[in-house]
Amino acid sequence: MAQRFNARGFWLRFLFALILVFATFNPSGFSYYHWASDIIADSSVFLTPPFALITIILLIGWTIYLRATLRSLGGFGLLLSFAFFAIIIWWLVDLGLLSIDKFSGLTYIVLFLTAAVLSVGMSWSHIRRRLSGQADMDDVDE
């Protein structure tokens, strides 16, 4: 029997989405993007075992999250999710609570919201079942 969905399950999905997003890129300079840029800039070393391993791990993580998000939210739902968060950011800028002059601050917010969309996408089937009482075709065993 499958475990019931709860807030702990959502926050774990959100934590892993944060790790995935911020490990891939963040403005601090310590991310996969920066590591790959340094490797490409240094033409003497291109591919090392640690770099290949981390590349595969990140690709697996992105594949799992993006596939689950696209399957549960669909393309239109994903578009609506990003539009929703983009409007919130726009509103905060319009109210003067967020400055677009500070690129790193805005980048952190966008990365955080990307992780939020991915975690909602991973959890959406559970959330929809709780709200509507309707099960998906993937829920046959429950």
pTM of the model: 0.81
pLDDT digits (tens, 9 = 90+) for 98-137: 888 877 788 998 999 999 999 988 887 767 666 676 665 5
For 11: left if phi > 0, alpha if psi spans -120 to 50, otherwise beta; the answer is alpha
Could you give the angle at the alpha carbon of 13 between the alpha carbons of 19 and 63, nearest 5°?
Answer: 70
Are 25 and 115 spatial neighbours (Cβ–Cβ below 8 Å)? no
Share of the chain above pLDDT 90, in %: 49
Residue 97: both structure tokens together: 């609570």
**Which pLDDT band holds residue 80 (cuts at 50, 70, 90)?**
very high
Per-position DSSP letters for 65-81, written without gaps between them = HHHHHHHHHHHHHHHHH
